[in-house]
Amino acid sequence: MFVELNNLLNTTPDRAEQGKLTLLCDAKTDGSFLVHHFLSFYLKANCKVCFVALIQSFSHYSIVGQKLGVSLTMARERGQLVFLEGLKSAVDVVFQAQKEPQPLQFLREANAGNLKPLFEFVREALKPVDSGEARWTYPVLLVDDLSVLLSLGMGAVAVLDFIHYCRATVCWELKGNMVVLVHDSGDAEDEENDILLNGLSHQSHLILRAEGLATGFCRDVHGQLRILWRRPSQSTAQRDQSFTYQYKIQDKSVSFFAKGMSPAVL
Amino acid sequence: MAAVATCDSVAGSTGSAVATASKRNVTSFQKRGPRASGTNDSGPRLVSIAGTRPSVRNGQLLVSTGLPALDQLLGGGLAVGTVLLIEEDKYNIYSPLLFKYFLAEGIVNGHTLLVASAKEDPANILQELPAPLLDDKCKKEFDEDVYNHKTPESNIKMKIAWRYQLLPKMEQIGPVSSSRFGHYYDASKRMPQELIEASNWHGFFLPEKISSTLKVEPCSLTPGYTKLLQFIQNIIYEEGFDGSNPQKKQRNILRIGIQNLGSPLWGDDICCAENGGNSHSLTKFLYVLRGLLRTSLSACIITMPTHLIQNKAIIARVTNLSDIVVGLESFIGSERETNPLYKDYHGLIHIRQIPRLNNLICDESDVKDLAFKLKRKLFTIERLHLPPDLSDTVSRSSKMDLAESAKRLGPGCGMMAGGKKHLDF
């Protein structure tokens, strides 16, 4: 959890909003620091987190989580974190025939239809346990990242359906939050990715867009973050708020500053 | 903590169902470093494998790519469990060299090799590996070869061109003198036969394997990719690279080399048609390969003819699914071959992507304009310099040409849009 980003977003783990879909987007740079931020943020907020990690292994997130002050292994052991390690699951699905349907079952099929098994997994992971006491505040679904599903043969519509089902269950029914990461391919003309990104942009309440600098590589400013608050359900009578900051990623934190106000320049 | 954390920082819990996270004492992939209880053991058990070293940044276990200059640019080396993707140059002249350097480094270090190709028999590829420069006598010859241009004295302060004092003194990325992590190879000589025979290698030659009757799992990949994945998975499992045979005492690294992946010889049509039927085959293959690598002690090099891929979206997806992406751009056949700007070099090398493994940041090199040249014996990577403009008639048009070429260089790893309009001054 980056304290400066919390200040910019005007939230703290104690009083975060519920029922929101946050879209993380990166263009020409790596936006995974935002995923680490939200993972540690919601674990500190005592939420039940279901993390669908499709692109990196568990130990990667765990080691970075240690730097940010959360222990993923302990969270997993006490049931706060349900971690789907996409890479490991894919290897199991492809090389061994499994009896019960796996979340990534579509890898075995030639014409994958939909992501229903994955949705079932998420719903099972986040359903409230009727043990009487409320251990966790609200459920959160994190997906890193959705563009990988397109690479694995799913169509953009199937992925949008999956997000729609998850939103109905997690955000509306269980009053939880969702955070998803999508890559913006920019000028690579990836139509499916553009459909996915546009569709999600219209549904989300908060869009965080990490972009590389337009002028190229810089040691002191790693990129630019655009924050856009939206109200998808209401009419756009009020203009959506948008802020732009530049950032520099350090070993354990990220520092944000206004455009052109990098400490290296001043 | 560093060296042990390397093993499990990549491997995490083992892929096989046998060794679960609860059996903490069975394999060497035990998480030792960051422990919640904070108890200090008698000392981390160092897993030292020949030819590897821990990264200075995060303790990740690194192997050399065979080119010490490239190792330096990649932040020390190639991390175990990751994929190095080489985007081939147009006529596929220099990328096989990088491929062979990687394999030669494996033989010199005693690693196990897995060579997969659809074009050449892996046995022939191994015969053509460059010979290592292991002698000190040879190292002296090499030093003279490298430093035949005069380097400026470091303690003479510049009086006139004092701005250049600030530039790094070693423009050429020189040899790593301290450790025997990376080796130098003589491209004009062949690897001695006894070294090749002493090494443990497995070959996958597609025309042979495609006709054999391996049990084919139903999967939507092209048959060539499916067979290759099964082959790799078999080797990893049988030789215990994923920790499934705990009685093996000596841990070793598996170096996987896949040549010309994505070319039509593999049965894939992404280089032929824009929206072929198999457009997801390659990306699925890369994903499953990533899964196999992350749970084993292996490193992979893939050369891919990305300049032939018709659909640009696939290149972007392939880049996202690979860890390190290096692009080679040779000057042969292009108008740059006769451009005086590039007369000393054979091509440009672009480091397109470096992974952030177990970390928020990565070791990006500041130097973005890199060029390579293949000298008589050596393949060197240097920072690209604009030669001084010594022509008598300093005409405006020649200056515009040079400036135009220079603008097309190194956009860098984190660029948003074409920087041309932002840098017009």
Candidates A151, A189, A248, partner chain B, best to mutate (most B CBs within 10 A): A151
Show residues of chain A in contact with B288, CB under 8 Å: 90-91, 94, 107
Say yes or no: B43 contacts chain A, CB-CB below 8 A.
no
For the domain spanning B81-147+180-272+279-323, the CATH number is: 3.40.50.300
Q: Is A232 a domain residue?
A: no
Say yes or no: B320 contacts chain A, CB-CB below 8 A.
yes
> Residue B174: pLDDT above 50?
no
Say yes or no: A90 contacts chain B, CB-CB below 8 A.
yes
Place of tokens 């400066």: A4
Q: Which domain CATH number covers A136?
A: 3.40.50.300
- Max CA-CA distance within chain B? 76
Cis, bond preceding A194 (omega within 30 deg of 0): no
Cβ within 8 Å, pair A108-B219: yes
Query: By CA distance, what is A111's nearest residue in B?
Result: B220
**Residue A139: pLDDT band by 50, 70, 90 thresholds?**
very high
Q: Using CB atoms and an 8 Å cut-off, which of residues 22-81 of chain A contact chain B?
A: 27-30, 32-33, 36, 55, 57-60, 63-64, 66-67, 71, 73-74
> Residue A73: pLDDT above 90?
yes
Q: Cα(A209)–Cα(A207) distance, rounded to whole angstroms?
A: 6
Query: By CA distance, what is A191's nearest residue in B?
Result: B313
B192-201, B288-297, B406-415: lowest mean pLDDT where? Answer: B406-415
> Residue A220: pLDDT above 60?
yes
Are B66 and B183 in contact by the 8 Å Cβ rule? The answer is yes
**Spatial CA neighbour of B4 closest among B23, B24, B18:** B24
Give the C-alpha distances (Å, rounded to integers) separating B298 from A154, B9, B83, B89, B233.
29, 13, 9, 26, 11
What is the model's pLDDT at position B200?
Answer: 92
Show residues of chain A in contact with B368, CB under 8 Å: 216-217
- The complex scores an ipTM of 0.94
Please tell me whether residue B204 adopts helix, strand or coil conformation.
strand
Measured from the Cβ of residue B376, the count of other Cβ atoms closer than 10 Å reads 8
Cβ within 8 Å, pair A58-B12: yes
What is the model's pLDDT at position A237?
Answer: 58
What is the model's pLDDT at position B201?
Answer: 93
Cβ within 8 Å, pair B313-A189: yes
Percent of chain B scored above 90 by pLDDT?
A: 34
**Spatial CA neighbour of A244 closest among A209, A218, A216, A217:** A209
- β B112-117/B254-258 pair status: parallel
Q: Is A255 a domain residue?
A: no
Say yes or no: A249 contacts chain B, CB-CB below 8 A.
yes
> Residue B410: pLDDT above 60?
no
- Into how many domains does chain A fold? 1
- DSSP state for residue A175 in the 8-state scheme: -
Q: Cα(B116)–Cα(B261) distance, rounded to whole angstroms?
A: 9
DSSP H stretches of helix in B152-222: 193-198, 206-209
Say yes or no: B9 contacts chain A, CB-CB below 8 A.
yes
Q: Is A33 a domain residue?
A: yes
More confident residue, A112 or B282: B282
What is the model's pLDDT at position B301?
Answer: 96
**Residue B368: pLDDT band by 50, 70, 90 thresholds?**
confident
Residue type (1 letter), A25: C
What average pLDDT does range B6-12 have in this prediction?
A: 43
Are A154 and A106 in contact by the 8 Å Cβ rule? The answer is yes
Q: Is A263 a domain residue?
A: no
- DSSP state for residue B423 in the 8-state scheme: G
Strand order in the sheet with A254-257: A81-85, A48-53, A139-144, A177-184, A21-27, A206-211, A223-229, A242-249, A254-257
Candidates B83, B236, B275, B358, partner chain A, best to mutate (most A CBs within 10 A): B358
Cβ within 8 Å, pair A215-B359: no
Q: Cα(A143)–Cα(A178) distance, rounded to whole angstroms?
A: 8
What average pLDDT does range A21-46 have in this prediction?
A: 93
Show residues of chain A in contact with B284, CB under 8 Å: 107, 151-153
Q: What is the pLDDT of residues B236-257, one digit of tens each?
A: 998 888 877 766 667 889 999 9
Closest Cβ–Cβ partner in B10, B292, B312 for A189? B312
**Spatial CA neighbour of A209 closest among A160, A253, A243:** A243
Say yes or no: A194 contacts chain B, CB-CB below 8 A.
no
Segments of A96-157 assigned E as strands: 139-144
**Spatial CA neighbour of A126 closest among A92, A168, A93:** A168
Give the C-alpha distances (Å, rounded to integers) separating B173 from B53, B87, B238, B371, B382.
20, 22, 40, 11, 6
Place of tokens 């099972």: A124
Q: Is A80 a domain residue?
A: yes
**Spatial CA neighbour of B227 closest among B217, B240, B239:** B217
Cβ within 8 Å, pair A183-B320: yes
- Max CA-CA distance within chain A? 62
Measured from the Cβ of residue A264, the count of other Cβ atoms closer than 10 Å reads 10
Are A23 and A178 in contact by the 8 Å Cβ rule? The answer is no
Are B336 and A205 in contact by the 8 Å Cβ rule? The answer is no
Candidates B227, B369, B416, partner chain A, best to mutate (most A CBs within 10 A): B416
Are B288 and A149 in contact by the 8 Å Cβ rule? The answer is no
Q: Is A251 a domain residue?
A: no
Q: What is the pLDDT of residues A162-212, one digit of tens each?
A: 999 999 999 999 999 999 999 998 887 888 999 999 999 999 999 999 999
What average pLDDT does range A65-69 have in this prediction?
A: 93
Q: Cα(A202)–Cα(A232) distance, rounded to whole angstroms?
A: 7
What is the model's pLDDT at position A198?
Answer: 94
Say yes or no: A260 contacts chain B, CB-CB below 8 A.
no
Range of the domain at A144: 16-197
Q: Using CB atoms and an 8 Å cut-off, which of residues 128-187 of chain A contact chain B?
A: 147-148, 150-153, 183, 185-186
Candidates A2, A95, A144, partner chain B, best to mutate (most B CBs within 10 A): A95
Percent of chain B scored above 70 by pLDDT?
A: 68
**Residue B84: pLDDT band by 50, 70, 90 thresholds?**
very high
**Spatial CA neighbour of B281 closest among B219, B207, B208, B325:** B219
Q: What is the pLDDT of residues B132-157, one digit of tens each?
A: 886 554 455 445 554 544 444 455 67
Across chain B, mean pLDDT equals 76
- β B61-63/B52-54 pair status: antiparallel
Are B340 and B295 in contact by the 8 Å Cβ rule? The answer is no
When mean pLDDT is compared over B17-31, B39-53, B55-69, B86-100, the highest value belongs to B86-100
HEC sequence for B246-281:
CCCCCCCCEEEEECCCCCHHHCCCCCCCCCCCCCCH
Please tell me whether residue B400 adopts helix, strand or coil conformation.
helix
* CB-based contacts of B269, cutoff 8 Å, min separation 6: B276, B277, B278
What is the model's pLDDT at position B395?
Answer: 55
Q: What is the pLDDT of residues B253-274, one digit of tens each?
A: 999 999 999 998 998 888 888 7
**Residue B209: pLDDT band by 50, 70, 90 thresholds?**
confident
- DSSP state for residue A105 in the 8-state scheme: G
Shortest alpha-carbon distance between residue B411 and chain A (Å):
6
> Residue B413: pLDDT above 90?
no
Q: Which two tokens stand for residue B103?
A: 């394999």
**Residue A84: pLDDT band by 50, 70, 90 thresholds?**
very high
What is the model's pLDDT at position B3?
Answer: 41
Shortest alpha-carbon distance between residue A106 and chain B (Å):
9
Measured from the Cβ of residue A173, the count of other Cβ atoms closer than 10 Å reads 15
Q: Using CB atoms and an 8 Å cut-off, which of residues 12-31 of chain B contact chain A?
A: 12-13, 15, 31
Q: Cα(B230)–Cα(B214) distance, rounded to whole angstroms?
A: 9
Compute the residue count for chain B.
425
What is the model's pLDDT at position B4?
Answer: 41
Please tell me whether residue B83 adopts helix, strand or coil conformation.
strand
**Spatial CA neighbour of B262 closest among B226, B203, B304, B220:** B304
When mean pLDDT is compared over A130-144, A239-253, B266-280, B290-304, the highest value belongs to B290-304
What average pLDDT does range B300-329 have in this prediction?
A: 93
DSSP string, A234-247: S-TTSPPPEEEEEE
